Amino acid sequence: MSHSSMWDSISGIIRRDLLLAMRRWSDAAMSVFFLVIVVSLFPLGVGPEPAVLRTIAPGVLWVAALLTCLLSLSRVFTPDYLDGVLEQMVLVPQPLSLLVLGKVLAHWVISGLPVVLLSPLLGLQFGLDGEVLGVLVLSLLLGTPTLSMIGAIGAALVLGVRGSGLLVALLVLPLYVPVLIFGAGAVTSSMAGIGGEANLSLLGACLVLSLFLAPWATAAALRIALE
Amino acid sequence: MIWSKYSAPQAFYPLAGRLIPWFAAVAVILMGVGLYIGFFVAPTDFQQGESYRIIFVHVPAAWMSMFLYVVMAIWAGVGMGLNARLSFMMAQAIAPTGAMFTFLALLTGAMWGKPTWGAWWVWDARLTSELILLFQYAGVMLLRTSIDDLRRADRSSAVFALVGVVNVPIIYYSVQWWNTLHQGASVSMATGSKMAATMLMAMLIMTIAFWMYSIAVILARVRCIMIERESLPVWEEKQAVIHEAVEAR
């Protein structure tokens, strides 16, 4: 297959999924409000001390980003599974892993990108500033696509299974641990003045690895689910 | 002898039945020897006193927990590649034993941590990655039980086990860079051991004992799984009953 037709099939899927998301924009809005609410709950629970809030900010923002991604995972494949489109996707001549890549990228644009764009604002609420905010945005920009990639594997595995909402959390959250550690670690080390480059590089490595492996595993899981 | 013959559950069931007592006997003997050396022969540690003796259970359990995860993933991979029923059954049979060793490693780690570190639980790198390993075992088992269709349950949990095996080293190193309080590894292939020879021997004997125990238990469990899935052995027993009845006449 030529490069242009590979890109055509990916971009076609992305365009379709984004169009569907725009027509049902409330889904994406729900993710954003969920993120803002979860993050706002922490100062209420922990107390308004600026020093404490600054210390917990990287962890809180990253865990909130993780949960936001997790809760939107059911939207990656389930609608297409229910109306039979997914079965057609398995049958088309294009490799399924490419189509999966397109769907996951679209999922990231819908649920991950808003988190990245909103994070400076949420960081300000926790008293982060200057360079630290930049590192926060950068870490989320590198990390959230990985979350979508890994999450898609879980979403495909639990497709149509009873109790899939909780099950996908159980499967996916342990796999998110490295991303959480490197992501929050980048922000923390930048706050400590060491600079977040090491952790950001590791986040980039995770992203490349997941871009390479996750669509393939997701496609295998989808084939099993649709058998 | 043609080994591939035993990839059929009908042939493997009696073979497993014959092997179980041997592995179980070796496990019991080695466990007795290992615990005896560990508790009575090995010298008292000059820093940690007697409390260090829990490592004769803790370290082999931790090794087995990781080793069994890899073995489970290998069986899952073989099952996916060759589409062999027995491989999936083996993967299914390994998971609970692996989870048990993971839990045992965490429990003994906590028991060791209390007198040594002064806390039952410390967010130390190896304890934490062991905890995450337990979550992954739980994921494999829960994914399997939530899917009713047997073929899909086999293959889905195999995919998850394989994804997990890629992730285990990443988690291990990420957690290690994140925080480490744990004493550095005392046994390593590269630098040789820093421990007294008797301590090392007790630990290795206990590891082999746990290994043999795992094989015995996994074979017993895989037989149960075969009965559950295929009802072939039931048929075999029925045949034996008929045979006896004919003999008696």
List the domain boundaries for chain B: 20-248
What average pLDDT score do residues A109-114 get?
91
Q: What is the pLDDT of residue B183?
A: 47
Q: Which residues of B14-48 are buried (b: 16+ CB within 10 A; e: fewer)?
A: eebeeebeebbebbeebbebbbebbeeebeeeeee
The residue behind tokens 């037989």 is: B223
Helix (H, G, I), strand (E, B), or coil: what is residue A2? coil
Q: Confirm or reject contact between B110 and chain A (CB < 8 A).
A: no
Q: What is the pLDDT of residue A93?
A: 85
Cα–Cα dist A55/B104, whole Å? 34
Q: What is the pLDDT of residue B53?
A: 83
Q: What are the tens digits of pLDDT across the range A45-88?
A: 988 888 888 888 999 999 999 999 999 998 889 888 999 888 88
* Cβ contacts of A225 on chain B, cutoff 8 Å: 152, 156
Considering chain A, what percentage of its residues have pLDDT values greater than 70? 99
Out of B152, B162, B167, name the one closest to residue A224 (CB): B152
Out of B80, B135, B178, name the one closest to residue A174 (CB): B135
Cα–Cα dist B105/A192, whole Å? 34
Q: Do A171 and B175 touch (CB under 8 A)?
A: no
Chain A nearest CA to B50, separation (Å): 35
Host domain of residue A173: 3-226
Report the domain count for chain A. Answer: 1
The model carries a pTM of 0.86
Return per-residue pLDDT of chain B as tens, 249 residues: 566 777 777 788 888 888 999 999 999 999 999 988 888 887 776 666 777 788 889 989 999 999 999 999 999 999 999 888 889 999 999 999 999 999 999 999 888 888 877 778 877 777 888 898 999 999 999 999 999 888 899 999 999 999 988 887 887 777 777 664 444 555 544 444 556 778 888 889 999 999 999 999 999 999 999 888 876 556 566 666 666 777 776
Q: What is the pLDDT of residue B142?
A: 93
Say how many CB pairs under 8 Å bridge A and B: 69
